[in-house]
Amino acid sequence: MRSLTTSGLILGAMMTLSACVQVSAPDKPIVINLNINIKQEVVYRLDGDAKDLINEEADIF
């Protein structure tokens, strides 16, 4: 009977000493700084006939 009581005391002590995890929201808002530089270049080349056609029909473009 004595070993059962001792086991109970040890188990109770282990439960009271177990780690506690707390999760809480931060005081300040979370800031994510994304330094993104987006540069787009469109390069096109037209042969002479296509360029002439575009110049002649400029009103449809």
pLDDT digits 0-9 by tens, 20-54: 778 888 889 989 888 888 887 766 666 777 788 88
CA 8/CA 2 separation, integer angstroms: 10
Residue of higher predicted confidence among 14 and 57? 57
Question: How confident is residue 61, by pLDDT bands cut at 50, 70 and 90?
Answer: low
Question: How confident is residue 18, by pLDDT bands cut at 50, 70 and 90?
Answer: low
Residue pair 48/41 in contact (Cβ under 8 Å)? The answer is no
Amino acid 14: pLDDT: 67
Amino acid 34: pLDDT: 87
Element containing residue 12 per DSSP (H, E) = helix 2-16
- Distance set, CA 36 to CA 33, 55, 56 (Å): 9, 38, 41
